[in-house]
Chains A and B, each alone.
Chain A
Amino acid sequence: MANLEKNAISIQNLSLSLGNKQILNNLSVEIKSNQVTALLGPNGAGKSSLLKCLSRELSVPKNTQLKYFEHSITDWPKNLLPQHLAVLAQQSSLTFAFTVQEVIELGLLPLNLSTKQAKKVVRENMVKVGVENLADRLYPTLSGGEKQRVHLARVLTQLNQSKDKTILMLDEPTSALDLAHQHNTLKLAKQLAYEGAAVIIVLHDLNLAAQYADRVLVLADGEIKADGTPWNALTSNMIEKVYGQKTLIEKHPISDYPVIHAA
């Protein structure tokens, strides 16, 4: 756990507007390794935009400082970053009839592996997300949830083999999944964080966040409204202010995390 408490990402003074609308308002945040950070907030709060800035899908404004592992983005060699930063999008536009195995192999692009190593890595990640029995299926014939898991295996594949200095960003990874797969995916995220990765997950379900996140960031109107452990950040007061919904919060009967009920 050499990365403990180290900043995996730090961004300072991020403001973003699209057209006339201010999406993010002078926002600064640090994301730590060894943690699952859940990014919450109502629709239109700027969650996806923040994630896009953090992953450099949207280029950040000039006066914003973005660092990965204490190194400014300009210091990172372009071809090295994909081995350290992987992003799972909400949906992909892939329409061609690749097999599942071939889709996951697309994740090998940033790596320089021998054929034998590559096979092993792809296989491992298929097993990790539970799609090994789909290997020969054609991608367009999969269900939405299966597709999502295949892409998760793909983005895991692109990370460097020593798992050193890794960031994983998941944009609503559970939206297309059934109950069991939702929990499997978040358990896997938790496991990766335990192994050292900085994991950021955009979620809509507060209870999933409460159960799996080490840290919760609540975003509204382009600002961070709450930041802390689920118990500290997810208070009735805060939820009512941000979502306009009254809630009751109690401790899970067996484990120690909050359970949020709409009141």
Chain B
Amino acid sequence: MTLAMRIKQLSAMQFTALSLCLLFFTATASIVVGPMTIPVFDSFQGLTPWASELPQHIQMVIHQIRLPRTLLCMLIGAILAVSGAVMQGLFRNPLAEPGIIGVSAGAALGAALAIVLFAQLSFAVPAFMNLAAVPLFAFIGGALTTLLVYYMGTSQYGTSVTVMLLAGVAISALSGAGIGYLNFIADDQMLRDLSLWSMGSLAGASWSSIILSAVALIILLVVFIRRASSLNALLLGEAEAGHLGVDTQKLKTTLILLCAMGVGVTVSIAGMIGFIGLIIPHLGRLISGPDHRHLIPVSALLGALLLTLADMFARVAVTPAELPVGIVTAILGAPFFLYLLFQQRGKM
């Protein structure tokens, strides 16, 4: 087996150009399709300064609904994919994924707590704090979960897949119970907010959520790419990375906290969307190899692409109703996860 196992190596420029083109066409398609079809030409026009020449209702659909949703899809997809890629590196195991090891569940519990608690306090706190509280609590929940799973499952010999997955099961169950209880004590408005977390949805796209996730994605990309070489060394094992001069403790803490931030932001905006962080890094490695300096940007592009496609499918599959996008990613991802688990049987 040689390089043939990787898809023909494209140069970085070729790949970037190709995937940006693909992303652009997918974005356009995502604006075209929906309960109300907008002609392709109008969709293009909607993105240019001549948008004002379009009929009012088309302008509104493009600018208030479909464009924000498409952008949000791309950002959330990219965040989930790079977080997944980094987590797999950190755990030195290709099965690590925010959804599977319980990080999303921990974040969701944090977010649900924030919604219920702050809804009861909302008369006392200013609105912007209310807005920031949900992502913040999601981050804390995600970070605590990641730290717990990491220190339970990882030893100097690598990560115990069994411990990692079972810890994920336990944390997801705990989080499910917590969210269930919050559902029980919540009023109608809170229930509407909470229901989002069960399956994940991008329907709540707003420009403020786009800005929040764009900022998160930029921070993740900058730090992850700067730490990519050290993360590569960490794949050899902690001791080996230490001998190569990597401050492993600091590296791990930085990456764990940033992954939790990424997942926290996505969960607080779009709920639990699973498996993007699992599938994409695997696809990415087929294209770029496992070197994180290339894998992270490649994963970002592929993640944006996949979640946009999945969301498009979710919107049109059962028109005029809409599937939660988490169902679509789970249909794609769960069989893939089983396949990976099957491959790892011998190593458990």
Question: What residues of chain A lie closer than 8 Å to B291, measured between beta carbons?
Answer: 98, 102
Nearest Cβ on chain A to B166's Cβ, whole angstroms? 20
Max chain B C-beta neighbours (<10 A), residue from A55, A97, A136: A97
| A interface footprint on B239-260 (CB within 8 Å = 1, 0 otherwise) | 1101111110000000000000
Q: Select from chain A the residue with minimum beta-carbon distance to B286.
A: A97
Q: Is the CB of B3 within 8 A of A96?
A: no
Nearest residue in B to A79 (C-beta to C-beta)? B245
Give the B interface residue count (CB, 8 A).
29
In Å, the complex CA distance between A137 and B239 comes to 25
Pairwise interchain contact B94-A95, C-beta atoms closer than 8 A = yes
Stretch of A39-47, A83-91, A178-186, A210-218 at the chain-chain interface: A83-91
B244 touches A109 (CB 8 A): yes
A106-B289 contact in complex given A92-B237, A93-B237, A99-B3, C-beta closer than 8 Å: no
Instruction: Flag if B289 contacts A92 (CB, 8 Å).
Output: no
**B94 and A99 contacting across the interface, CB-CB below 8 Å:** no
The count of A-to-B residue pairs whose CB atoms sit within 8 angstroms is 84
B175 interface residue (CB < 8 Å to A): no
Contact between B240 and A89 (Cβ–Cβ < 8 Å)? yes
Cβ B290 vs Cβ A109 within 8 A:
no
- Which residues 188-241 of A sit at the B interface, judged by CB distance below 8 A? none
- Chain A residues whose CB sits within 8 angstroms of the CB of B319 once the complex forms: none
Asked if B2 lies at the interface with its beta carbon under 8 angstroms from chain A, I say yes
B236 touches A92 (CB 8 A): yes
B285: chain A residues within 8 A (beta carbon): 96-97
Query: Is A93 a contact partner of B158 (Cβ separation < 8 A)?
Result: yes
Task: Tell me, rounded to whole Å, the shortest Cβ–Cβ distance linking B280 to chain A.
Answer: 15
**CA distance in complex: A83, B139 (Å):** 38
B251 nearest CB across to chain A (Å): 12
Q: Is residue B230 within 8 Å, beta carbon to beta carbon, of the partner chain?
A: yes
Determine the main DSSP class of B at the interface with A: loop
Residue of B nearest to A57 (CB): B239
On chain B, the residues within 8 Å of A137 by CB distance are 1-2
Chain B residues in 8 Å Cβ range of A57:
239, 242-243
What residues of A have a CB within 8 angstroms of the CB of B6 in the complex?
Answer: 97
> CB of A158 within 8 A of chain B?
yes
Q: Is B245 a contact partner of A96 (Cβ separation < 8 A)?
A: no
A182 CB, min distance to chain B CBs, angstroms: 22
* B136 close to chain A: CB less than 8 A: no
Query: Is B184 positioned at the interface, with any CB of A under 8 Å from its CB?
Result: no
Assess whether B233 is interfacial by the CB under 8 Å rule: yes
**Measured between alpha carbons, how far is A202 from B233 in the docked complex, in Å?**
24
The chain B residue with its CB closest to the CB of A95 is B92
**A82, CB-defined interface residue at 8 Å:** yes
Compute how far the CA of A195 lies from the CA of B291 in the bound complex, rounded to whole angstroms: 33
A121 at the interface (CB under 8 A from B): no
Partner of B236, one of A52, A56, A85, A94: A94
Q: Kindly list chain B residues whose C-beta atoms are within 8 Å of the C-beta of A92.
A: 236-237, 240
**Across the interface, which residues of B come within 8 angstroms of A98, CB to CB?**
235, 289-291
Q: Evaluate contact between A96 and B235: CB separation under 8 angstroms.
A: yes
Q: Are B1 and A94 touching (Cβ within 8 A)?
A: no
The verdict on B206 contacting chain A, using a C-beta distance below 8 Å, is no
Task: Tell me whether B229 is interfacial, beta carbon within 8 Å.
Answer: yes
B157 in contact (CB, < 8 A): yes
- Given the complex of chains A and B, what is the CA–CA distance between A145 and B93 in angstroms? 23
Note all chain B residues with C-beta closer than 8 A to A82: 243-245
> Which residue of A is nearest B159, CB measured?
A93
Q: CB-CB < 8 A to A106: which residues of B?
A: 232-233, 236, 244
User: With A and B bound together, what is the CA distance between A55 and B240 in angstroms?
Assistant: 11
Asked if A143 is an interface residue, CB under 8 A from chain B, the answer is no
A-side contacts of B229, CB under 8 Å: 109
A130 at the interface (CB under 8 A from B): no
Report which B residues bind A (CB closer than 8 A): 1-3, 5-6, 92-94, 157-158, 229-230, 232-233, 235-237, 239-240, 242-247, 285, 289-291
Known A95-B94, A97-B285, A141-B1; further 20 A-B contacts with Cβ < 8 A = A57-B243, A78-B245, A86-B243, A87-B239, A87-B243, A89-B237, A89-B240, A92-B237, A92-B240, A93-B235, A94-B92, A94-B237, A102-B290, A109-B232, A109-B233, A109-B245, A110-B244, A110-B245, A137-B2, A138-B1
- Interface, chain A (partner B; CB < 8 A): 52, 55-57, 78-79, 81-82, 85-87, 89, 92-99, 102, 106-107, 109-110, 136-138, 141, 155, 158
13 A-B residue pairs with Cβ-Cβ distance under 8 Å, sorted by A, are A52-B239, A56-B242, A78-B247, A82-B243, A85-B243, A92-B236, A93-B92, A93-B157, A93-B237, A97-B285, A102-B290, A109-B229, A110-B245
